[in-house]
Structure 1
Amino acid sequence: MSGLPVAGYDGTLLDRGDAGAAPGTVRAKTGTLLGVHALAGTVVTTDGRLLSFAVLADGSADELAAESALDDVAAALAGCGCR
């Protein structure tokens, strides 16, 4: 999935995620509608496994909380040693 913004580096993910903990591990596309926030893309786990993911927060009145929750899911996947 080349061309997707990288968490902590560019695009709509420039200021999202903890790039210091795992720079370049999350490549994703954001999506927003009124009260709906989404994040979908790929992540490389700590053991080098490539995962794809799609998460959605619906009905959120707090934009920052919704984005943070989605970022937490991506970070949890990046930190996973899932074998």
Structure 2
Amino acid sequence: MAAGIGFRSGADSTTAVVIVVIVVIVWAAFMALLPVGLVVSRHYGAKYSAQLEAAGFTPVTDQNGRLRYVPPGGQLAGHGNPFTGGA
């Protein structure tokens, strides 16, 4: 988009080429950092998952397939009827 704006802005061809080069460099940098972000995200996910399990939380897959952690003696939200009087 930045390259298109550079060409449409009426800038001379040298400025437009510089804008395109900068856009390509920034795009390449983001693409190079993407795997690093994925590794960091997995690291933190594993770290916090281990903390929750050590605290007694139980991993449960909800109806949408997402992993949730239920506290000891608890259940997923929406399960059970909170309005029953227990009688």
With the length of structure 2 as denominator, give the TM-score of the two structures.
0.29
Higher strand share: 1
- Pick the structure with more helix per residue: 2
Larger RCO, structures 1/2 (Cα 8 Å, 6+ apart): 1
Report which of the two structures shows the higher radius of gyration computed on alpha carbons: 2
TM-score of the superposed pair, with normalisation by structure 1: 0.30
